[in-house]
Amino acid sequence: MTSPHERLRLGVNIDHVATVRNARGGDTPDPLRAARLAQESGADGITAHLREDRRHISDADIDGLMEVLTVPLNFEMAATDEMQKIALRHKPHAVCLVPEKREERTTEGGLEVAREENKLAHYIAPLREAGCRVSIFIAADPRQIDAAHRIGAEVVELHTGAYCDAHAEGHFDIRDAELEKLRTMATHAHALGLEVHAGHGLTYDTVQPVAAFPEVKELNIGHFLIGEAIFRGLQPAIAEMRRLMDAARA
């Protein structure tokens, strides 16, 4: 069992720095500058999602991140042939497989692993051989977690979106039920030997109950931090998240 006092890692997702840049089609704000600043501010890793439609992070951003980062890159991608080729070319520290739909605004659900077990087992094999830690972004559902374990993933990232949405909408009974599901599934995944991460929609208000789960080793947080950076700057925005995570863990 992971010690509850072990430092919980914070992965900062910089996708939405690229979203703002792309709104004008120029070079600013620069996601690489944000990544460097995030790592100087205590981020333990940087996460970037290269979407099929390149709506935020670009191929050149991934090239740049691979060059400048001193902390691990968690490369989020859909399980397509194109993305597999890109990942195998870069060999990032981690590859996180996410479902992707063109029409969605953000990653809406977890990956369907149980129904695609064979296909995904073959898909991740070369990534693992290349030395990438394969993580699967997944709903807090035992069927999916068991399937992720069977295909040989090393990490599952639990989707915290439903928990965060229920909090934001003031549906506190649903929020608490979602949190309980996350807690149970973190324990379940950990017992199978999977490393447990969590993320999506986390804010200063919602991070602490998840950060307190001793099985969770890493949180990946993006949209809220980049938004908060407008008001307090990226460094203080990250520092406050770090403080809340550490306090929850203490």
Report the catalytic residues.
49, 76, 200
> At 166, which helix (H) or strand (E)?
helix 161-168
Q: Looking at 20-169, which runs of residues are DSSP E strands?
A: 45-49, 73-77, 94-97, 133-138, 155-159
Q: Is 15 in the site for ligand PXP (CB under 6 A)?
A: yes
Q: Cα–Cα distance between 94 and 45 in angstroms, integer?
A: 10
Q: Is 5 annotated as a binding residue?
A: no
Q: Is 122 annotated as a binding residue?
A: no
Tell the smallest beta-carbon distance from residue 28 to ligand PXP (Å): 20
Of residues 117 through 176, those in contact with ligand PXP by CB under 6 A are 137, 157
Nearer to ligand PXP (CB atom), residue 80 or residue 106 = 106
Cα–Cα nearest to 182, from 150, 156, 204, 203: 156
Q: Is 105 annotated as a binding residue?
A: no
Tell the smallest beta-carbon distance from residue 99 to ligand PXP (Å): 9
The counts of H helices and E strands in the chain are 11, 8
Cα–Cα nearest to 38, from 10, 6, 78: 10
Of residues 72 through 91, those in contact with ligand PXP by CB under 6 A are 76
Q: Candidates 29-37, 50-58, 197-205, 209-217: pick the segment binding ligand PXP (CB under 6 A).
A: 197-205
**Long-range interactions of 171-180: CB distance < 8 A, separation 24+:** 178/140, 179/209, 179/210
Q: Is 223 in the site for ligand PXP (CB under 6 A)?
A: yes
Footprint of ligand PXP on this chain (CB under 6 A)? 13, 15, 49, 76, 96, 98, 106-107, 137, 157, 199-202, 220-224
